Chains A and B, each alone.
Chain A
Amino acid sequence: MDLLVQLAQGFIGIFKAGADWWWAVFVGIVPLVVVLMTAFNAIIAWIGTERIDNFGKFASQEGIIFLPFRYLLLPVVAVFVLTNPMAYTMGRFLPEKYKPAFYDAAVSFVHPPLGILPHVNPGELFVWAGIATGVATGYGDAAVTDLAVRYLLVGLVVILIRGIVTERLTAMMWKKAAA
C-alpha cells in the first residue's frame, strides 16, 4: 500500500511541477502582454493600413541608397503594423529580385521585439519568454529589460545584414539558374 501511495505521489508530482511552472508564467507574463498588446493594437488601428502601403511603395525602390529602407525600415514597419504573418505582404511592392531578401529580413524580425512589442507575434512568444522568464528568476527584472532592449537592437543589425547577404545570394543563384 505504501508503495502504491509513493507511486501515486511521484506521478502527481510530475504534473504538479508542470502546474507550478504554468502558474508562475501565467501570473508573471500574461498580464503585461495583454496590456501591451491592447495598446499597440489600438495604435495600429489608428495608423491605418493605407499609410503603410504608401510607405511600402516609397521604401521599395531600387539602388544602394534604398538598401536600409528595403531591409531595415520596411521590415520593421511591416512587422510592427501588420504583424506575423501579414507583414510579408509588403513584399508585393518590391521588384522580384529583392523579394527573397525582404522576406528574410522581415521574418527575422518577428522575435527580437517580443520583449517590448509582444503584439507582433504572440503565438511564438516563448522564443523570447522561455529564456526571459529564466533570466528574471535568476538575475531579476532589470536584467530582463536590459536583455529585451539589446535583443531588439541586435535584431535590427541582423535583419539588415540578412537582407544584404540574401540579396547577393539571390542575384548569384539567378545567374546560375539562367545559365
Chain B
Amino acid sequence: MEALTSFLTRFGRIMGGLVGTMFQAGRESVDQVWKNILPFLAFVAVVVGIMNGTGLGTWIAQLLAPLAGSIWGLLLLSLIIGLPVLSPLLGPGAVIAQIIGTLLGTLFASKALPLSAALPALFAINPQVGCDFIPVGLALGEAEPETVEVGVPAVLFSRLITGPIAVVLAFLASLGM
C-alpha cells in the first residue's frame, strides 16, 4: 500500500511537471505571436494593401521580377544588399528583408517567378543578416573592445564574399525543384 502511494505521488508530480512545462511553453509561444508576429503582420498588411490596392505593387514587382528571375540578377541583389556601407543600415529587425520577401512572394503566388528561384531568393534578400547587431552580438559573447574593433569590419567584408556564395549554393541546391 505504501509503495503504491509513493508511486502515485511520484507519478503525479512528474505529470504535474510535464503539464506545467507544456503550459508555460504554450504561454510563451502565444506571447510571441501576440507581441511580435501579429503587430508585424498588421504593419505589412497596410503596406501590402497600398501595394495591391493602388497597383503600386505590380509596378514594383515588375521592377523586381527581372532581378529575381535570373541567377545574375539575384547575385547583383545580394552584392548590393551586402555592401559594407548598406548592410548595417538594412539590418534592423530584418524589416527590409521581410518586406522584399513578401513582395517577391506575390510574384511566386502569380507564378511570375519560377519555383526554382525561391531558394536563391531567400539568400539573396538576406546577406545583411545581423550586420546592424555585430557590436551587441559580440558583447553578448563577452568579447573585448579590441575584438569588436576588428570583428565589425571582418564580418562586414566577409558578407561581401559569402553573400554571393550563398546565392550560388542555393541556386545549385534548387536544381530539380
Which of A's residues lie within 8 Å of B, judged by CB? 10, 13-19, 21-22, 25-26, 30, 33-34, 37-42, 45-46, 85-86, 88-92, 94, 96-97, 99-104, 106-108, 110-111, 119, 122-135, 137-139, 143, 146-147, 150-151, 153-154, 157-158, 161-162, 165-166, 169-170, 173-174, 177
List chain A residues, Cβ under 8 A from B174.
150
List chain A residues, Cβ under 8 A from B12.
none
Min CB distance B54 to A, Å, is 6
A89 pairs with B140, CB closer than 8 A: yes
Q: Is B25 engaged at the interface, CB distance under 8 Å to the other chain?
A: yes
How long is the Cα–Cα vector from A108 to B106 in the complex, in angstroms? 25
List chain A residues, Cβ under 8 A from B154.
100-101, 166, 169-170, 173
Q: Is B151 engaged at the interface, CB distance under 8 Å to the other chain?
A: yes
Min CB distance A22 to B, Å, is 4
Q: Is B90 engaged at the interface, CB distance under 8 Å to the other chain?
A: no
A-B CB pair tally, cutoff 8 Å: 270
- Known A-B contacts A41-B28, A42-B22, A92-B141; the reply to A166 vs B108 at CB < 8 A is no
A96: which of B38, B40, B42, B147 is its contact (CB, 8 Å)? B147
What total of chain B residues lie within 8 Å of the partner, measured CB to CB? 84
Q: Which of A26, A94, A123, A129 has the most CB of B within 10 A?
A: A123
B98: which of A119, A127, A173 is its contact (CB, 8 Å)? A127
A17 pairs with B49, CB closer than 8 A: yes
Per DSSP, chain A at the interface is helix
Q: Within residues 30 to 86 of chain B, which ones have a CB less than 8 A from any CB in chain A?
A: 30, 32-33, 36-38, 40-42, 44-50, 52-54
List chain A residues, Cβ under 8 A from B33.
30, 33-34, 37, 122
Min CB distance A61 to B, Å, is 16
Residue of A nearest to B142 (CB): A92
How long is the Cα–Cα vector from A150 to B177 in the complex, in angstroms? 10
Q: Which of A14, A19, A104 has the most CB of B within 10 A?
A: A104
List chain A residues, Cβ under 8 A from B122.
111, 127-128, 131, 147, 151
Min CB distance A83 to B, Å, is 10
A127 pairs with B126, CB closer than 8 A: yes
B25 pairs with A123, CB closer than 8 A: no
